[in-house]
Chain A
Amino acid sequence: MPAMNMIQALNSAMDVLMERDPAVLVMGEDVGYFGGVFRCTEGLYEKYGAHRALDMPIAEGGIVATAIGMGVNGLRPVVEIQFADYIYPAFDQIVSELARLRHRSGGEYSAPVTIRTPCGGGIRGGQTHSQSPEGVFTHVCGLKTVMPSNPYDAKGLLISAIEDDDPVIFFEPKRIYNGPFDGDHHKAGQPWANYPQGEVPEGYYKVPLGKAAVVRPGSDVTILAYGTMVHVAAAAIETAGIDAELIDLRTLLPLDTETIAESVQKTGRCVVIHEATRTSGFGAELVAEVQESCFWHLKAPIERVTGWDTPYPHAFEWEYFPSQERIIDAIQRTLETD
């Protein structure tokens, strides 16, 4: 099986579907000739032409709006928003239009639009290249929300997302495009080629939406994470030598509540981790979900480890970014309680 980093895996997903279905096209800023600022659409312009790797003006609202129109008229657009931090000009089109077309038209109209967007920090990008706004979108009815943590899942999930007839917001943690990141920025990163999840089939396969993955089985505490934080959590578990069960949510909405409940009912403890800001973040939803489904099994209060409620910093990136240390502290707190 070929080794692919996450960029190549995402590229391969789009390539496979463009090959199969002429209704699939990719569109966005710098995605055509240049192949995207992170190179995710590289080669698609040469292979499928300028109209299927479609460069677009800098107007995210316009990009999503035209994708909706195309979707309504038989196409299957894959939009790239250059950075998740620049998705807000498209907010009205996503929230009031894309998410609700099917419902408000009594099922008559819908648009199978996928919106891919790089998210997250750890790259010295400052407040406009580092945000994790997933919780803003999980709060909207009618959107599926996905965030992969490795190349194999990225490709399989993106194929599922594009083929899904409902709109999907597909967040790509850019810090792990080239290799996993355990939170220690002093350490040289290893490429995905050195990891099993970097082995990606060349052809068509799917990872289903709405299914979490148990990354590491364990019995003492359940860790819920997604995106980059899956790797930081895994390293923290390793460092502290704790028998934790680590669950990579992969899809935030619809949420795999069964896998979560099964795990927490077994361990009786739960730590929720995300890079996004804390208040009203997706972690709050997870905590509520666990509380509802596992209350009588819980042995300790559920802990949250998140970014702080401040704009994403430039100088204090590593004080902001949920570290292994903060994760270990939270796990220890849940374990101390009987």
Chain B
Amino acid sequence: MTSPTHAGWQSKLYVPVASSRPDQPADFSKLDIPAAGACARPATDAAAEQTRDLAYGLVRVLDDNGQACGDWNPQLSPDQLRQGLKHMLAVRAYDERMFRMQRQGNLSFYMKCTGEEAVAVAQAMALESGDMLFPSYRQQGLLFVRGRPVLDMMCHCLSNSRDNIKGRQLPIMYSWKEGNFFTISGNLGTQISQSVGWAMASAYKGEDHVSAAWVGDGTMAAADVYHALHFASTYRAPALLNVVNNQWAISTPQSFACTGTTFAARAQGFSMPGIRVDGNDFLAVYAVTQWAAERARQGHGPTLIELYTYRVASHSTSDNPDAYRGKDEAAQWPLGDPLERLKAHLIAIGEWDDAQHAAVEAELKAEMTANWKEAIKYGSLEEGPHWPVSAMFEDVFKEMPGHLRKQRQDLGV
């Protein structure tokens, strides 16, 4: 070892700080939260420079009294609003059930999206079924909107004999081709640039389908994200690049991924609109997604959408957030709960009430229980039945080469 001994260094290295730590209360007072309705809605063919304010603002539609305000109000019908609320309630009921099943030892792993349900649900509802989804692991809501049977999702999570991906991935790494839902990778960030390629192919074939990809705030550090921004901007790919800024990346606060600016602002450097939206506001998320999809379909290229939200639960079943963030932080989060906010809106416009709400919740809870009971009939990770063991050797290649066939025979399957 040849490093000299250097006594008495006085470090001047700056290291970002967190929004809270266990020994220090949450403080969101410095967040600048514009009033609902304050942001203007540009035309979908506006030049990127004309959308600049949206990158630093926060598109909000629902105010504190449950009223929908301003240009961005997507004017959804009461049926659509109720549908959105039901989807979000279903996602929450599913998450609760699956989390509990993991705690009881029935699943190897699970991840909830509590507090972020509006992101995937509203975005999926604003897109067309032919649009291709490249999700991260926290957009299970997309599957609910696209109509994937809960039973199938559970069977995947159990890696059982009915798992459509043959027991090959951790729970929640769904794949569902029928629903134009791409196979989720455990490697962060890899898929956002692939989504741009998908969108380029759509344009190449003269089609109107757009792609939508999701990464977290922490993942915005990955080089792949900048490949996505650059290629999407260069080829005006019909792509929606979504950043789910839930403030945390496991224990690492958002300040390590973005300091002194917004994620949405990064789009400006690529001459692409970047819009920051209140991710807990169902209507705002819907409206911004619809705007970006329309713009992409019209041939005006990609949009970066920053969904400003909060990860209420632990990162996964493997961590306890009390070890790294203030216990009260979720409660202090100033943008509220997406389900409560949409519910309040529906009640305010006279299209919903507490009794209906409670009935749907009870119904969903029962539905999750029934599905779980059905799913475990097809097996579980530890007890089986699984796919036949030989399935392990399949799909490595389209045709199994000789060396794999030999290995399969060596294993005796």
Contact = CB atoms under 8 A, between A and B. Distances in A.
Contact of B221 (A21, A51, A59, A320): A59
Contacts of B219: 58
A5 to B, nearest CB: 18
A112 B3 contact: yes
A85 B3 contact: no
Nearest to A60: B222
A201 interface: no
Interface in A1-60: 21-23, 29-30, 32-34, 37, 49-52, 54-59
B256 A126 contact: no
Interface stretch (B61-69, B127-135, B246-254, B294-302): B246-254
A165 interface: yes
B93 interface: no
B2 interface: yes
Interface stretch (B7-15, B45-53, B285-293): B7-15
Given A55-B256, A313-B392, A315-B159, A127 B168 contact: yes
Interface string B230-253: 000000000000000000011110
Tell me the dominant secondary structure on chain B's binding face: loop
A34 B323 contact: yes
Interface in B1-60: 1-7, 9, 11, 13, 15-16, 18, 21
Contacts of A239: none
Interface stretch (B114-122, B181-189, B273-281, B369-377): B181-189
B251 A34 contact: yes
A164 interface: yes
B192 to A, nearest CB: 13
Contact of A61 (B18, B21, B223): B223
B404 A37 contact: no
Given A58-B188, A309-B407, A315-B387, A124 B252 contact: no
Nearest to A165: B2
B18 to A, nearest CB: 7
Contacts of B170: 125-129, 314
Contact of B9 (A22, A54, A86): A22
A23 B16 CA distance: 21
Given A37-B318, A57-B218, A165-B1, A51 B15 contact: yes
A88 B392 contact: no
A89 B222 contact: yes
Contact of B222 (A21, A59, A308): A59
Contacts of B250: 29-30, 34, 37
A315 B168 contact: yes
Contacts of B387: 315
Nearest to A86: B187
B24 to A, nearest CB: 11
B175 to A, nearest CB: 13
A278 B404 CA distance: 10
A222 to B, nearest CB: 22
Contacts of A308: 392-393, 404, 407-408, 411
A310 interface: yes
B252 A55 contact: yes
Contacts of A52: 11
Contacts of A164: 1
A315 to B, nearest CB: 3
A76 interface: yes
A23 B3 CA distance: 7
Given A23-B3, A51-B11, A310-B404, A127 B169 contact: yes
A128 B186 contact: yes
A33 B256 contact: no
**Residue in A32, A54, A313 whose Cβ sees the most chain B Cβ within 10 Å:** A313
Given A127-B170, A127-B186, A316-B389, 18 more contacts: A21-B1, A29-B250, A34-B323, A37-B318, A50-B15, A54-B15, A58-B189, A74-B3, A76-B1, A85-B186, A85-B187, A124-B108, A124-B109, A279-B403, A308-B411, A309-B403, A310-B396, A315-B168
Q: 7 tightest CB-CB pairs across the interface, nearest first?
A: A315-B167, A128-B186, A57-B221, A34-B251, A126-B170, A163-B1, A124-B108
9 contacts: A51-B13, A55-B16, A57-B256, A57-B257, A76-B3, A310-B396, A315-B167, A316-B392, A320-B392
